[in-house]
Structure 1
Amino acid sequence: MNATKAPGGIKPKHQRLVLLVIALVALIGAGLLAAYALSNQASYFYVPNDLVKNPPEQGRAIRLGGMVQKGSLKTRADGITIDFVVGDGKARVPVRYTGITPDLFVEGSGVVAEGRMEGQTFVADNLLAKHDENYVPRQMGDMTKAQAEAVVAETK
């Protein structure tokens, strides 16, 4: 029994198999490329205590969440660069941000800063302020009431 061959000399069954393998390799390649691109864009979330205990490598994009400490907000001479301290009740991290701050960004409020560590200072590229004064980052949500009150008292 002779199977008919396609014009290229390959049996249709083998031709479909070759096309399937090529499509599968292309799909896997696209998936790996997408995963690589996303891994470079991912930013991890840290609270100050985690950042102090296990700092990321210098220059890696991360998010820092916590409370802006009372009395820590200072504006530099250029008028658009601010320095402040973010705390979580266990540790504090100095932050520098250049740009226009959100309207709701004030001392004692919750903030998520996106940026990177440079030395001992977190340099923020973007600030996200929560509209509710009772905001607590998810990682701090498992605190006891006494711990939460201590953090709030510390920011006043």
Structure 2
Amino acid sequence: MDTERELRILLDERAITAVMHRYCQALDSARVADWLDCFTRDALFEVLLPNGETYVRLEGEADFARFAGAMRDRPGHKHVYASPVVEVDVDAGEARGTSYFLMFAGDAGQAMVSSFGRVRDRFVKRDGRWKIAERRLQTDGMNPAAP
């Protein structure tokens, strides 16, 4: 592989990882427009419970806007993504990513892990920007005591 191609891949990986982090920060700080900007217009977002049942499924801008609006009322929630692995197909303008997630919930200065699991993403590069085309969260555990 030539140096220029390697550099392109590294820059794309960095840009994709930045999207992953912006997603969490925008959602947790109720910056709805910034959160929505992480996704393509035709994106799919799905959260599965530990038993495999669908907990959340969003398709289309109206679904995304409704979901993001609901998160505004939960300021004690924080999302953390860890151990991201990104594989970029420079020629196709697509990438796949996997990571782990932790969601903290709380209020009045107290917080606890409310859920954790794995994230599988598909990213596409459109107009020079990487965006999430598909995000699937597989919840591995949930804390029933979390608010």
Fold match by TM threshold 0.5: no
Max radius of gyration: which structure? 1
Q: How does the TM-score come out when normalised to structure 1? A: 0.27
**TM-score normalised by structure 2 residue count:** 0.29
Relative to total residues, which structure has the larger strand share, 1 or 2? 2
